[in-house]
Copies of this chain bind each other. A is one copy, B any other.
């Protein structure tokens, strides 16, 4: 196949007809395919069934805590050590809490709005129209959380090495109402990019660069160990860089075991400076007598010291699915010059950019024949993709053979929508 732009009108019409026939054939199969959510599949979940035997009747943590009883607001030592293994920050700078890092992010942003985390008068909610920077495309739940808590959002472009830092620095330097930035620094959702060392270093300095005196980096390292190859790809250490830059009170780091062990039954982690951990602990103590330390012990005993080995087993399941996605995209779309896509080496997503104005149409076309995609626009704040061009592909949950079929359907939809568009514009 040649570039679409090089086809004359006649060839284009013939191609459209042929592809629509193919689509009709496919839709006759009553598809029920789903590439929507970043969920592990059952085989991945099975890797962690050993959790159930990990307690072995001994509920006492390494510091003598009976994990079954109340208390322990920061989590037991071995769970915080597990966090350290995943996040590459010292265990004593980690709180292990709950089953969801998203909940910890919500709690943190809420705290920043209502009370601040510095023991002084600074709180975002007392300022005029506070907002967060949102590199796009990004993670829909960050956007929903931000909007719900009453913050505005300002988009900034996501490049292959992370957010466009020149744009970021200019924005936060000029506008004191910009209070923070959302980051998924490794295998970012959805592009799969990993922030370069230079980008991380510049992010560590952002609280100093910012016009706001209460700027916070929200570092959601959801895919810290979710590589396809090991030893894992390094990521510059934000907390260390922030300590060196004197901005450690203005970075909060998050991670969880949700896509490491059982997605619903894992552990959440938040890390930061001693001062911010104190503020978080005080907030947690107002609403709880402590986290589920039994599950912490279960996880620490099952996973502690062997996170990479465990993640390599995930990779063996996940990587072929990503390869299938790339194979179909390469084979079907490379020559046409009608789309670009990312080639992540880890994480849960592939980001596909089609021609502007066509993402919604393609999503609808796919849905009509039984292929569910993450709703176009979801990767942008307010579900508004200004160019209507980004599609997120989440290939982990479906079976390998279904992913191939789903991708074939998807590229068919991309081609048809693009050709129709090309014809209508000539």
A144 and B286 CA atoms in complex are apart in Å by: 6
| CB <8 Å contact, A148 and B286 | yes
Taking the closest CB of chain B, its distance from the CB of A39, in whole angstroms, is 5
Partner of A57, one of B45, B49, B72: B49
A293 within 8 A of B: yes
Partner of A52, one of B40, B48, B55, B98: B55
Taking the closest CB of chain B, its distance from the CB of A32, in whole angstroms, is 16
| CB <8 Å contact, B99 and A291 | yes
Contacts of A52 in B (CB 8 A): 52, 55, 57
A332 within 8 A of B: no
**Known contacts A69-B262, A70-B39; A292 and B289 CB within 8 A of each other:** no
Instruction: Give the interface SS of chain A, mostly helix, strand, loop or mixed.
Output: loop
Taking the closest CB of chain B, its distance from the CB of A420, in whole angstroms, is 36
Contacts of A286 in B (CB 8 A): 106, 144-145, 148
A294 within 8 A of B: yes
Q: Give residues 257-282 of A contacting B (CB, 8 Å).
A: 258, 262-265
A68 within 8 A of B: yes
A72 and B57 CA atoms in complex are apart in Å by: 29
Taking the closest CB of chain B, its distance from the CB of A36, in whole angstroms, is 12
A290 within 8 A of B: yes
Partner of A294, one of B57, B69, B110, B265: B265
**Known contacts A52-B57, A287-B145, A292-B295; A67 and B102 CB within 8 A of each other:** no
Partner of A37, one of B57, B68, B70, B100: B70
Q: Which of A45, A145, A287 has most chain B Cβ within 10 Å?
A: A287
Residue of B nearest to A52 (CB): B55
| CB <8 Å contact, A66 and B45 | yes
A287 and B100 CA atoms in complex are apart in Å by: 9
| CB <8 Å contact, A287 and B72 | no
**Known contacts A262-B69, A262-B294; A288 and B100 CB within 8 A of each other:** yes
| CB <8 Å contact, B145 and A264 | no
Interface residues of A (CB under 8 A from B): 37, 39-40, 42, 45, 48-49, 52, 55, 57, 59, 66-72, 98-100, 102-103, 105-107, 110, 141, 144-145, 148, 258, 262-265, 286-295
Rank and list the top 9 A-B pairs by shortest CB-CB distance, nearest first. Answer: A265-B294, A106-B287, A68-B262, A45-B68, A148-B286, A99-B292, A70-B263, A100-B288, A265-B292
Mind listing 16 A-B residue pairs with CB under 8 Å?
A42-B66, A45-B66, A49-B57, A52-B57, A68-B262, A69-B262, A69-B263, A98-B98, A100-B289, A105-B287, A106-B286, A106-B287, A141-B289, A145-B286, A264-B290, A292-B295
